[in-house]
Amino acid sequence: MSNKALKICYDFPFFLDDELEEIFQAHEKVSFHKGDFILKEGKTANEYYILEKGLARSFVNDFDGNDVTINFFVENEIIIEVSSLFQRIPTQENIVCITDCECWKFDFETFQELFHKIPNLREWGRAWMSQQLFIGKQRSVEIFTLSATRRYLNLLEQKPHVVQFAPLKQIASFLGITDTSLSRIRKELVSHPKKI
């Protein structure tokens, strides 16, 4: 089995070819339609997915019942709710497809078997988790230290598919601003691109 998304996600220098092959074989190809939920609040995650094609997002409902975007998942990224999957607890998050999505599913039981069987998978997992902790920390700091315009430009640079396909309201909630503010920022960028 040869697949670009799997190769990108499991790009780790110590994997042997036969280990990668066994890991790749453990994934199952699945498809979702736009609007399908990959995970719903109150359920316990039993798998994670590698997104081959499409765009998805995770969101929570705040204390007023507003839908707040936590993350966007783009091609070649892992769609996962870590605490639910590994702590075996119901999630507070929803993960939904913004577009039709094609994914590679890796169920928890099979992952656990291979995790104990293949030491390099454990090392890959530690490296991936460290990277995610860094990304999460950086994002929480940037909410306070960067302007809304700069945060929008960073999103545009890092995940252009989000700006192309996600509704304005979802992008605004991810950036921690109102959709009115985001509309103003976008207008300013179009009319005064040199100022930024």
CATH code at position 31: 2.60.120.10
C-alpha torsion sign, points 120, 138, 52, 35: positive
Residue 194's pLDDT band (cuts 50, 70, 90): low
pLDDT, one tens digit per residue, over 106-152 is 999 999 999 999 999 999 999 999 999 999 999 999 999 999 999 99
Answer yes or no: do 166 and 99 share one domain. no
Residue 1 has pLDDT above 50, yes or no: no
Q: From CA 99, how far away is CA 35, in angstroms rounded?
A: 7
Q: Taking residues 83-110, what's their average pLDDT?
A: 97
Q: From CA 158, how far away is CA 142, in angstroms rounded?
A: 14
99 occurs within a structural domain: yes
Residue 2 has pLDDT above 50, yes or no: no
128 occurs within a structural domain: no
Length of the chain: 196
133 occurs within a structural domain: no
162 occurs within a structural domain: yes
Identify the pLDDT of residue 100. Answer: 98
155 occurs within a structural domain: yes
User: Which two structure tokens, joined as six digits, stand for 163?
Assistant: 């700006």
134 occurs within a structural domain: no
Answer yes or no: do 36 and 102 share one domain. yes
Residue 195 has pLDDT above 60, yes or no: no
Identify the pLDDT of residue 3. Answer: 84
Q: What is the count of structural domains for the chain?
A: 2
Structural domain range at position 168:
145-195
Answer yes or no: do 64 and 11 share one domain. yes
Q: From CA 104, how far away is CA 53, in angstroms rounded?
A: 10
pTM of the model: 0.91
Answer yes or no: do 153 and 85 share one domain. no
Identify the pLDDT of residue 60. Answer: 96
Answer yes or no: do 102 and 15 share one domain. yes
Tell me what the pLDDT averaged over the chain comes to: 94
140 occurs within a structural domain: no
Identify the pLDDT of residue 193. Answer: 62
Counting residues of the chain whose pLDDT is more than 70, the rounded percentage is 97
Answer yes or no: do 119 and 149 share one domain. no
Q: Taking residues 23-49, what's their average pLDDT?
A: 97
Q: From CA 139, how far away is CA 148, in angstroms rounded?
A: 12
Pairing verdict, β 56-61 and 28-32: unpaired
Q: From CA 61, how far away is CA 98, in angstroms rounded?
A: 17
Q: Taking residues 25-44, what's their average pLDDT?
A: 97
